[in-house]
Amino acid sequence: MKNRLPSYIWLILAVAISLNSYVSTCCAQAASVKVEPMVTLTQQVFPKVVKLYGAGGFKNLVNYGTGILISSDGHILTVWNHLLDTEYVTAVLDDGRRLPAKFVGGAGEAGLAILKIEVINAPHFSLEKVERRGPGTPILGFSNMFNVAAGDEHVSVIHGVIATVTPLTARRGRFDVPYRGDVYIVDAVMNNSGAAGGAVVSHDGILLGLIGKELRDNRSNLWINYSIPLFDVKETINKLIRGEVITEDHASQNPVINSVDTHPLGFRLVPNVVARTPAYIDAIVVDSLAEKAGLLPDDLIVLIDDDLIQSCQEFYERLHESKKGDLLRITVRRNRELFTVELLVPELKK
């Protein structure tokens, strides 16, 4: 007589198989529910983000960046940096179209800038739907970091959370960044080349902020991964779109220094013709402090005493604060190498 399993064993096996099938189906459905909305969200955001190309492309200054469309007729919001120091800025849309972008206006507050391209019914973010969120909010960052999306490819996406909301304590040179409002400090590496001007969006598709330009914390000297909350600057953006002049009084904290006579140091910078002219050395005085220290024409000044120098203007501002007898540690970029010298500050004409 053949051995046969008891009927209750068959019942247990049937129930186990049914449960396994049910759990597998539920897991698949849960994964679908979790993934599909995220895919839908990114597909909605991609057409609203543009790749920008402008000044740069030499001495390791990148010539690419990011902006976001904020109107159906082609207004682009981005950050104000060296990329815009030219009359020829190109916006590359998500579908690969390359359109000339005209500079409309900019504001010192948060370093914002508005560009304009000629389009009709463009997908865009609505400033009326911008919100402010708190710590712990999951976010996605969309940007043209590292220029991996030069054509009709989608921009890059980074996932993270808002770690904290705090006043921006960052500097360029010795001067505080003019922005006095809060920023989102983000738990994601957004401080990448080309990322500035990108969109920070919540998981429910709400525009929260704009990825800021590369800055260091003035206490730790570390690079900051941060975003500018657009809810706080909506009115400034609307004024820029309308062509209104933004006037801000930062003269007491950030005096405008057109130039300082650097001849006693032994060199001359290139002409400061635009707002963000890179601080290249144009000429070296024979038998001077600079020549003896080893500086050469075409050296790009990038640091003074570990403070980032992004333009001739910032170099002059930093030098204006120096006094006779100060030891000035200057780091320059020569080809692809950094070279540091120390100069004793003589009497300067300011």
Q: How many CA atoms lie within 13 A of 163 on its CB side?
A: 11
What pLDDT, on a 0 to 100 scale, did the predictor assign at position 188? 92
Q: Measuring CA to CA, which residue among 44, 56, 43, 42 is closest to residue 196?
A: 56
Instruction: For the domain covering 45-241, report its CATH number.
Output: 2.40.10.120
Phi, psi of 93 (to 5 degrees): -80, 170
Query: Can you tell me the mean pLDDT for 229-249?
Result: 78
Task: Return all residues near 250 (Cβ < 8 A) that are at least 6 apart.
Answer: 108, 178
With cut-offs at 50, 70 and 90, classify the pLDDT of residue 161. Answer: very high
Average model confidence (pLDDT) across the chain = 81
pTM for the whole structure: 0.64
What pLDDT, on a 0 to 100 scale, did the predictor assign at position 95? 94
The region of weakest confidence among 38-52, 115-129, 282-296 is 282-296
pLDDT in tens, 270-310: 877 666 678 888 888 888 889 999 999 889 998 888 777 88
What pLDDT, on a 0 to 100 scale, did the predictor assign at position 69? 98
Please give the CATH superfamily to which domain 263-344 belongs.
PDZ domain (2.30.42.10)
pLDDT in tens, 70-114: 999 999 999 988 788 777 899 999 999 999 999 888 865 567 899
Q: At which residue do the structure tokens 């400061």 appear?
A: 272
What pLDDT, on a 0 to 100 scale, did the predictor assign at position 333? 87
The region of weakest confidence among 19-23, 30-34, 163-167, 239-243 is 30-34
Q: What DSSP designation does 197 have? A: T
Is the distance from CB of 137 to CB of 163 less than 8 angstroms? no
Higher-confidence position of 210 and 338: 210
What pLDDT, on a 0 to 100 scale, did the predictor assign at position 137? 96
What pLDDT, on a 0 to 100 scale, did the predictor assign at position 248? 47
What pLDDT, on a 0 to 100 scale, did the predictor assign at position 246? 58
Ordered by start, the domain boundaries in the chain are 45-241, 263-344
Where is 347: in which H helix or E strand?
none
pLDDT in tens, 193-222: 999 999 999 999 999 999 998 877 766 767
Higher-confidence position of 26 and 148: 148
What pLDDT, on a 0 to 100 scale, did the predictor assign at position 108? 57
